[in-house]
Structure 1
Amino acid sequence: MKKKDLVALVLAFVVLVVLLLLPTPESLPIVGHRVLAILAFAVILWVTEAVKYPVSSVMIIGLLAVFVGLSPTIEDPSTIYGTKEALGMAVSGFSSTAVVLVGGALFLAAAMEHTGLHQRLALFIMSKVGIKANRLVIGTILVSFVLALFVPSATARAGTIIPILLGMVAAFGLGKTSRLAALLVITAVQSISIWNVGIKTAAAQNMVALGFMQSEFGVDVAWGEWFLYAAPWSILMSILLYIIMTRLIKPEETKLTGGNSIQAQLNELGNIKAEEIRLIIISLSLLILWSTEGVIHPFDSTTLMVIAVAIMLTPKVGIFNWGEVQNKIPWGTLIVFATGISLGKVLLDTEAATWLSSNTFEALGVTSLSLLGMIAVLAAFNIFIHLGFASATSLASTLIPIVIALVIGMEPTSFNGPGLVLIMQFVICFGFLLPVNAPQNMLAYGTGTFTTKDFLKSGVPITIVGYILILVFSATYWQWVGLL
């Protein structure tokens, strides 16, 4: 273990102990006090990445089981929860349908990797857009959008498109440190973040928010509903991304040679295989059924995903067998995801989120603002604290329960409370400013095609424009379609 990681781990435990020893505020239940101490411990580990995320998840579960288990209940302070009940609370996220949807999404991503279909899609699109620099930027954005429909992992999408872009740059006779490489790679990851907002199944952190909303409000957002709400924002942001990037980073040449390399890479893949055709049928069927959920059929997104996974694993008609796929699934991602949902639910159930909300947002006068003013402050706060988080899933696990508590504390409201929560989830997907703000950014940064300064230089205007669009949509479109 590196020294800085050891220091961060020790710091997390010190903060945990210090907070536990502090007097419990009168308005906060003892169990809520202890859960907030565990939240502080979790945030330090998440921000510093002192240990791997699955390791921190197991630590969080253990701490919740012990400290909640030994705490007096809110209903009857003369009795304690007991470690058995507390452990049930600590792992409650594992039974969430949102976790099942993410698990299915990981299988779909593995199927794309197994067949190479995601690479064929990306190369096909890039082969059609032309080899002028501005057309390559358009192609990069289009690939990010199309892959977001079929590859429900931002990191996997980045892992697909970035090698293709670097291969093109090399074929044009330019190096990794060329301005063209920086232009295309930064555009790719910024576009991936933009479409994390636009498509419900594009990112795991979206499922975190939906899991909380389902638990606390009893509402679900269908795939088509999410697309109706968020896709117009992402479309406008994609156009603005093109304008910003093509003016911000000027490539070495406006007309490039060597475009045949794209077709050559496509030819290397050979003719489309039977398993790719089957995966196309499965993926398109999912997309059609997701987008018509609640309109022409009663099946929810998660059930459809489970059926798709079952078909992909069925001999003869499927894509792979269990032995081929089990090592391709990042099981640790599911543990982290489920633990984040558990922690958020415990924050809400123990009134810790309510107390935190009243002593932060309410104390700052957020509840006295107009709806637009409230969104402006919450979104700005959201963007600011994202600077310290490398995982949007962890940020959603921390922030969304507090926003939900804020909304519940304001009821009845003149606006749609779940809609406000969903908009804050859109902002959680931003991650435009620094390479460390998202895994796909770090993957791109590792190629050496750009510096942190380059990324920040593009991230600042993209973040400002995205923030303004959030406010504009909140004042207009999202009210027109009933989100607010």
Structure 2
Amino acid sequence: MSSAHPPLAWRHTVAALAVLTVFALLLGAGLAPLTRAAMVVGLGIGLWATGWLPQWLTALVFFTLCMAAKVAPAAVTFSGFESAATWLVFSGMVIGAAINHTGLGERAAVRIGPYLASGYPQAVFGIGLAALLASFVMPSSMGRILLLTPIMLTLVERLGYAPGDPARSGFLLSGIMSSFLPAFAILPANVPNNVLMGTSEAVLGFSPSYGHYLLLHFPVLGLLKWLLMLGLILRLFPAAPGPHQTSAVAPTLPEGRPNLIMVALLAFAVVMWMTDAWHGISPAWIGMLVALVCLYPGSGLLPPKPLAQMNLEPFLYVAGIVSLGALAHASGVGAALAGHLLEVLPLAPGADAGNFGWLAGLATLLGMLATLPGIPAVMTPLTPQLAEVTGWSPQAAVMIQVLGFSTIVLPYQSPPLIVGLLAARVDLRHAIRVTLPLALITIVLLWPLDYLWWRWLGAF
């Protein structure tokens, strides 16, 4: 029992010393508010990036330091709990638990399994394609991941990929990452995309159209990047040699009222998610309506005392990471960093290739500081200045940030990825093995290709 803890003990000690040091400095006098906020943001990012503390514990550290040292008011510190993304996580957890409890996940796996059982590459591609196609009809990557994860967990068992088999991690990573990574190139399918649309309307007086956004970004940053990601997963997580014991017999599952109710609820949710532009109800609150029905006593969709049996770690994590982004924005840390970098970056009218690379790099760096939804919140107000120094149109200047928030270096930058990893019980280090090389491939190969694509389209 003791052998499981010593390898992590030194990391916990270093993390505790870092927390205590930052807390002591925050209690001291003489630090500017911007510096105090930057210290807390830097500590949170460091702990989430290294994984030296559990993600949920880092979130609690962040909340406690902000309030105990009066770094930010409660409205900013706990703004993550007001975020639709956080409540979409909660509703998704409830819906996922109901899918498992009613046996609906097993039924879906029985139907889908035969199409994925012909081989490991086919399974990886098939689940990835299903997740990608869902991005065109479900507007929330968090919702897609939380709905698909219980089905994927059942599928991975039926396909015979046991714990410890690299193919198990590869299959789950394909479904999780395909749910959100190519969706950065589909306008309503991810939170940063929608933040970009909203801030562009507020700051510049226009927002990108669905078709223009898709044409500009999906061929390279969506489709090509998705194919490269699947190839990377297949190479890094090969199937173990030998036959896999695929379950071919459909299990005996109840056919009664709970199953019918769950199917009806899911159909209602998907239709409402697909039509959110028409009715204006956030995907989070659609999810909460379904979750409330699942949680209602006597529904038969969940066991007694369902919250006692649910893992609330993703809920705390997302609330923490959204609040950290809000602090970085509200305190001016993100804008200050961007402003300083703009002063030293060699931007000039006519130097389109250089401008393209430098601004994409700036957006990527901001994503590591303020997380992905923070990029449009920081960069969109700078668009008029960017258009002036580059000689680009405001439309081109605002679109460059998509390269940044679609380039994920470490998993902590993307709450949907972390939530998917936690729900599927995939080691964070396995995700890093994909995100780091994929980020490098994106910068070295896809950014130049995207630049040529923009130029061919006449975006500059």
CA deviation map 1:213-259 (0-9, x unaligned): 8689759999x899968876545545455566668888688xx9778
**Contact 1:293 1:300 (8 Å CA) reproduced:** yes
Partner residue in 2 for 1:294: 277
Query: Which runs of 5 or more structure 2 residues have no equivalent in the other structure?
Result: 1-7, 388-392
Aligned twin of 2:21: 14
After superposition, what is the alpha-carbon deviation per residue over 1:269-298, rounded to whole angstroms, capped at 9, x for unaligned? 436453233222222332222222224x34
Instruction: Tell me the residue number matched to 1:335.
Output: 316
User: What letter matches 1:345 in structure 2?
Assistant: A
1:111 aligns with 2:92: no
Query: How much has 1:119 moved relative to structure 2?
Result: 3.4
Whether the 8 Å CA contact 1:8–1:50 is kept in 2: the answer is: yes
Q: Deviations over 1:285-328 (max 9, x none)?
A: 32222222224x34332332233223334566x56368443134
Query: Against the structure 1 CA distance between its residues 274 and 11, is the aligned structure 2 distance closer, same or farther, given a 3 Å change threshold?
Result: same
Q: Once the 2 structures are TM-superposed, how far is the Cα of residue 404 of structure 1 from its aligned partner?
A: 3.3
Q: Give the 3 Å change call, closer, same or farther, for CA 218–406 of structure 1 in structure 2.
A: closer
Deviation string, structure 1 residues 426-480 (Cα, Å, up to 9, x no partner): 3238859xxxx95766867669xxx97x995997469626974566567658998
Which residue in 2 is equivalent to 1:42? 44
Q: Distance in 2 between matches of 1:411 and 1:235?
A: 30
C-alpha separation in 2, matches of 1:13 and 1:368 = 48
After TM superposition, give the deviation of residue 184 of structure 1 in Å.
6.2
Does residue 1:51 correspond to 2:30, yes or no? no
Normalised by the size of structure 2, how large is the TM-score? 0.70
Q: Which residue of 1 aligns with 2:143?
A: 152
- For 1:40 and 1:439, the matched residues in 2 are separated by 21
Aligned residue number for residue 390 of structure 2: none
- Cα distance change on mapping 1:215 and 1:107 into 2, 3 Å: farther
User: In the alignment, is the contact (CA less than 8 A) between 1:196 and 1:429 conserved in 2?
Assistant: no
Q: Which residue matches 1:354?
A: 335
> Is the CA contact (8 Å cut-off) linking 1:13 and 1:41 kept in structure 2?
no
| Cα separation, 2, equivalents of 1:399 and 1:258 | 38
Assess, with a 3 A threshold, how the Cα gap between structure 1 residues 384 and 63 changes in structure 2: closer, same or farther.
Answer: closer
Does 1:165 find its partner at 2:148? no
Aligned letter for 1:302? A
Does the 8 A contact of 1:119 with 1:160 survive in 2?
yes
Q: Which residue of 2 aligns with 1:189?
A: 173
For 1:226 and 1:330, locate their aligned partners in 2 and report how far apart those are by CA, in whole Å. 40
Aligned to 1:409: 382
The answer to whether residue 281 in structure 2 is matched with residue 308 in structure 1 is no
Provide the secondary structure at the position in 2 that maps to 1:411.
helix
Tell me the alpha carbon deviations over residues 163-198 of structure 1, each in whole angstroms, 9 at most, x when there is no partner.
Answer: 64355347xxxx878xxx545642441342132234
| Structure 1: tracts of 5 or more residues without a match | 25-29, 70-84, 387-394
Q: CA–CA distance in 1 between the matches of 2:432 and 2:50?
A: 21
Deviation at 1:12, TM superposition (A): 4.0
Q: Is the 8 A contact 2:95 2:291 kept in 1?
A: yes
Q: Letter of the aligned partner of 2:394 in structure 1?
A: F
TM value normalised by structure 1: 0.67
Which residue of the partner structure matches residue 464 of structure 1? Answer: 441
Once the two structures are aligned, what percentage of the paired residues are identical?
Answer: 14
CA–CA distance in structure 1, aligned partners of residues 114 and 317 of structure 2:
38
CA distance in 1, matches of 2:294, 2:163: 38
For residues 43 and 436 of structure 2, the distance between their equivalents in structure 1, rounded to whole angstroms, comes to: 29
Give 1:35 shift.
0.5
- Counterpart contact for 1:112–1:118, Cα < 8 Å: yes
Report if the CA contact (8 A) 2:132-2:179 is conserved: yes
Question: What is the CA–CA distance in structure 2 between the aligned matches of 1:458 and 1:351, rounded to whole Å?
Answer: 28
CA contact (8 A) 1:104 1:306 kept: yes
Quick one: which amino acid aligns to residue 6 of structure 1?
T
Matched residue, 1:389? none
Name the structure 2 match of 1:72.
none
Contact 1:165 1:185 in 2 (8 A): no
1:88: how far off? 3.0
Whole-Å separation in 2 of the counterparts to 1:475 and 1:60: 42
Structure 1: distance between partners of 2:270 and 2:454: 24
Tell me, in whole angstroms, the C-alpha distance in 1 between the residues paired with 2:238 and 2:364.
Answer: 28
- The separation in 2 between residues aligned to 1:98 and 1:334, in whole angstroms, is 9
- 1:260-299 aligned within 5 A: 261-264=246-249, 267-270=250-253, 272-295=255-278, 297-299=279-281
Mapped partners of 2:303, 2:337: distance in 1: 44
- Three-state SS of the structure 1 residue aligned to 2:53 is coil
SS at match of 1:428: coil
Task: Provide the rounded CA distance (Å) in 1 between the counterparts of 2:290 and 2:167.
Answer: 37
The question of whether the paired residues in 1 share the 8 Å contact of 2:45 and 2:369 is answered with: no
Structure 1 residues 110, 234: closer, same or farther in 2, change over 3 A? farther
Q: Give the C-alpha shift of residue 32 in structure 1.
A: 1.2
RMSD: 5.1
Cα 1:427–1:374, aligned 2, differ >3 Å: closer, same or farther?
farther
Cα distance per residue 1:322-380 (max 9 Å; x no partner): 84431344334323322322232222222222212223465344687967755644655
